[in-house]
Copies of this chain bind each other. A is one copy, B any other.
């Protein structure tokens, strides 16, 4: 017996995606559910595969099966393909197991020819409708199947409209459409040298060929390469009876959501248009009506719709987005799929479905897209107002949320104006640590350079401040205090709006909406905390950040960067004094000034994170970051510190580096200047001691950055232990010493480091930079092109490059835990807040992830989802 190459909708179900494609499997599923789906059949992906292996020939018996299924369909519909009295019309669509752009789109109205169009006219009693449908068919078929560009058809229509003096298509009468049809056929003849096929079976064959061929179109191949889609057989072909929503006043078409996709309210939501086709709803010429009105207009259809939506939602256990068409009073369902929704809706639907008993708590967690939660935590631009706003440039969506304010071009100015009560947007080529105060004072930050993990981006996310980074379209002239973009000039104090969630830059003011956290959000978070296995920590450098994170449920601090504490007024002065000092004594004197300030910081942080681990990283950035860059600032610093400008310039020049990322930073600072490590260890440990005296339970974990060789770690650990010894503190009881794993060599030699270290924490920003060999601040130039070309599926600075950097992590874990079975291993790179990365961290067995405060909910939910998914297996 020949293989089955063709299935009627009745023969399939949603689990047959590999054979029937996603679209076909879903049509079959709905048919099985008893929904009024226009009947049809599916040619399998296997047929497509054989088509190719046979050198583009149909496999033996395939077309016989098509004819058989077509016959069945004709019988069922009481109509016949090409019949001059009762013509059957069908649509033909491609559909692989995975949705894939680049393949053939839709051909509608197949089966029409010069005879059957008359049949359609007779049957519908609407000649105009019939010829309109016919010309649509010729256009689509000519374009999609025969390769004639759409514009040639358009020209025929335009010329007729001009001759007749028509402005709108609606003005064309049946006769006009007839002429258009003739003109269209001439176009086909002219551009292909072939007559437009009159025989419906030939039309069908040609359409099937076109679908099969489109599987290997350039775009489809590229798409599969880019998304590393392999193992698919080919595309299936869906042949389905046409239904028409534009057959008069008892016809219509619409879209509905089983719950409100904006709010999540459990109430049918949707729009429809009477006497219209799907395209008309999309085109937006007529304004669709709210679905509630259908109840009055077509109560029977509405009731049926009600029943269907309840059934479908219950069946799929999720809010559905459905398309329907009513043809002369009869309801048809053309599609159902998971409905897109806002974060707010997502959370509400999940919680309410649990209450309704439709799903379990654990299932509910999987219904929410973790990344979306950002919407709930940040101010958003008013969506209606934004639609009218003028987007002048697009950068990277570096820190989510909407921000409005007056443009300023220096951190000082931002600070100044903010003090006066102004709302400002800080615009910089790039930011540096000395801009921190100004960044804090700003509503939003816009930079022309730098990527998703540039300084501006990282700091902004930490603060929860919206940020658009690496917006290279804007040309900033800092001395002139302005930037230009697309011919417009934005001067200081001009209003500017940023959408940090999309990367859009808008001139003028767009109103901003505050986030509202519902009780449902709390419920979901509670469920997530119950379900997850990973610890969720936060990256926080200040008591304020720590508090924010704690409010969102952070279970400790996974990364406290001490250097950010060095940038404020008095501190940076002391820091600079240390850098300029030529002697050990000089450095110690300067450090002694910083110590009490650091201690106070740590005390405050320990108190916020009482009885929770606090991982404090020792000084990390290259020292030149603490020195000014501009002449005026150098002059000011010289005066303030009573040294010559030349001395400062010489120091700056001495500290100049070709590749600062790979330069004199991290533990190299503490190894060259042990007094820095001593001071920091002392500040941390004394803070802990004092907190303990006050009744708190600080858990101090000291982290050595940029270790590549175990000896770097042990040398720094020895210093910490010596300080601790002098304070009577015991490692493993009063404090812990661990290391960042951010240098590939450290990952590779984890079995040497593990015996010495109390914990590891992956610094995946730097690990990515060094493993892949690109600087996060420079990668913007090519990383976009790389992602586009499919080298990396996602920006590896946003989502862990699992096939590369991830392998280093796995190797490190394997080597480290071979030595210490329960070694505490976390991650504190920016990836700790990326849903896919969090799930990856769960799978490879990390102990915890740490992310910026505002991403704690996302990380929590992602961790829970990973746990639920794991158990499902």
Q: Which residues of A contact B (CB under 8 A)?
A: 657-664, 666, 668, 671-672, 706, 708-709, 711-712, 715, 742-745, 748-749, 752, 766, 769-775, 777-779, 781-782, 785-786, 789-792, 801, 803-805, 807-808, 811
Contact = CB atoms under 8 A, between A and B. Distances in A.
Contacts of A706: 773
Contacts of A777: 657-659
Contacts of A708: 771-774, 804
Contact of A672 (B766, B774, B782, B790): B782
A664 B771 contact: no
A782 B673 CA distance: 11
Given A659-B660, A659-B661, A743-B773, 16 more contacts: A657-B778, A658-B778, A662-B770, A662-B779, A663-B778, A663-B781, A668-B782, A708-B771, A711-B789, A715-B789, A715-B791, A744-B744, A744-B808, A748-B807, A748-B808, A770-B773
Copies, count:
2
A666 B791 CA distance: 15
A804 B749 contact: yes
A745 B771 contact: yes
Nearest to A785: B672
A742 B770 CA distance: 11
Nearest to A780: B664
B745 A775 contact: no
6 contacts: A658-B777, A659-B778, A662-B769, A662-B778, A663-B778, A671-B785
Contact of A773 (B662, B781, B790): B662
Contacts of A772: 708-709, 743, 745
Given A711-B790, A743-B771, A748-B771, A662 B661 contact: yes
A766 B770 CA distance: 10
A749 B770 CA distance: 15
Nearest to A662: B775
Nearest to A709: B791
A708 B796 CA distance: 12
Contacts of A782: 664, 668, 671-672
Contacts of A660: 658-659, 778
A766 B744 CA distance: 13
B805 A775 contact: no
Nearest to A450: B658
8 closest A-B pairs by beta carbon, nearest first, are: A659-B775, A662-B775, A743-B773, A745-B804, A744-B744, A663-B778, A658-B777, A659-B659
Contacts of A663: 774-775, 778-779, 781
Given A671-B786, A772-B745, A661 B658 contact: yes
B745 A773 contact: yes
Contacts of A745: 771-773, 801, 804-805
Contacts of A803: 749, 752
A715 B792 CA distance: 13
A105 B125 CA distance: 118
Given A658-B660, A660-B658, A749-B807, A744 B715 contact: no
A804 B751 CA distance: 12
A661 B777 CA distance: 12
B775 A658 contact: yes
A779 B665 CA distance: 11
Which of A658, A672, A781 has the most C-beta atoms of chain B within 10 angstroms of its own C-beta? A658
Nearest to A663: B778
A374 B672 CA distance: 34
Contact of A792 (B672, B709, B805): B709
Nearest to A766: B773
A803 to B, nearest CB: 7
Contacts of A715: 789, 791
Nearest to A454: B658
A813 B743 CA distance: 21
A768 to B, nearest CB: 9
Contact of A671 (B711, B779, B789): B789
Nearest to A475: B650
Nearest to A650: B475
A468 B752 CA distance: 36
A657 B749 CA distance: 31
Given A671-B785, A771-B743, A662 B659 contact: yes
A782 B664 CA distance: 7
A705 to B, nearest CB: 11
Contacts of A664: 778, 781-782
Contacts of A771: 708, 743-745, 748, 770
